[in-house]
């Protein structure tokens, strides 16, 4: 797994860090006739963009494999690191997608949250569009006709420096589920620009990129959320270690060794 620092950070709306042909192989977890499994760093966009093939994970993987079509089975938000699965054949993609739809896949995330979470807690709260936020993509816990059931379990692993490293297991797969439930719980995810008390942080980032104000307000430049494991009920499983920047935060800010608890 790559432990590089990001070479560049987005400065303007729509700008993305480019993947290089040299570093992509470092992220490969599995590469065979059926699958290409990637340990995606934070800040890499999954879906193809207008900035060329090397501006997204799917585009870069197409260039790397020489395949015209790759099926994105398990995707992640731009700032979430961890396991991404791409299927090389339609039949394989359908089988895996059905497993997700039928909830035959168990997902495990790792996150760093604000505050000290004392004990494991399961949040069973419906999510719907946040009508009070200026951020169009934000969802929130509320009851409405459009609300969807969402269940997330947060398990504290170790605390330090006013933060907690947690293992997160979502039972459902709603948009922004982990981040919205963490915020509702009062333990928002470190570095999250969307789920916080100040909508203007995200809006400022979209308009101007990383600024001095964001640097002062957020302990990390991206949300500290990492897809660490996918376990399919058919017996197949994929696991990756904690992302380098989250491990660095744990050591330097929290004063803990994440390897000792993972």
Spell 182-203 as b/e; 16+ CB within 10 A means b.
Answer: bbbbebbbbbbbbbbeebebbe
Can you tell me whether residue 41 is helix, strand or coil? coil
Q: Which of 33, 34, 77, 199 is catalytic?
A: 77
Say if CB 177 and CB 124 are below 8 A apart: no
Distance between CA 68 and CA 33 in Å, rounded?
15
Distances in Å between the Cα of 178 and the Cα atoms of 99, 192, 213 are: 20, 11, 26
Q: 198 catalytic, yes or no?
A: no
* Residue located via tokens 């200026």: 134
What are the catalytic residues?
A: 77
């Amino acid at each position: 797994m790559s432990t590089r620092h990001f070479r560049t950070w987005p400065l303007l709306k729509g700008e993305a860090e480019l993947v290089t042909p040299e570093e992509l192989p470092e992220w490969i977890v599995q590469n065979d006739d059926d699958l290409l499994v990637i340990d995606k760093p934070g800040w890499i966009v999954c879906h193809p963009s207008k900035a060329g093939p090397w501006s997204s994970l799917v585009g870069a993987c197409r260039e790397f494999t020489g395949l015209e079509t790759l099926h994105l089975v398990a995707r992640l938000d731009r700032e979430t690191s961890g396991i991404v699965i791409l299927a090389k054949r339609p039949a394989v993609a359908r089988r895996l997608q059905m497993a997700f739809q039928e909830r035959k896949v168990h997902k495990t995330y790792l996150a760093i949250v604000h505050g000290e979470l004392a004990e494991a807690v399961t949040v069973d709260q419906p999510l719907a569009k946040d009508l009070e936020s200026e951020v169009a993509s934000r969802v929130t816990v509320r009851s409405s006709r459009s609300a969807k059931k969402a269940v997330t379990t947060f398990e504290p692993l170790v605390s330090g420096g006013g933060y907690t490293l947690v293992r997160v297991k979502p039972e459902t797969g709603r948009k922004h589920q982990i981040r919205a439930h963490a915020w509702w719980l009062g333990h928002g995810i470190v570095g999250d620009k969307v789920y916080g008390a100040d909508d203007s942080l995200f809006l400022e980032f979209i308009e101007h990129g990383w600024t001095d104000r964001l640097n002062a307000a957020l302990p990390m430049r991206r949300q500290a959320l990492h897809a660490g494991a996918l376990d399919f009920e058919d017996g197949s499983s994929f696991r990756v270690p904690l992302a380098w920047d989250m491990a660095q935060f744990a050591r330097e800010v929290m004063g803990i060794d994440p390897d000792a608890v993972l």
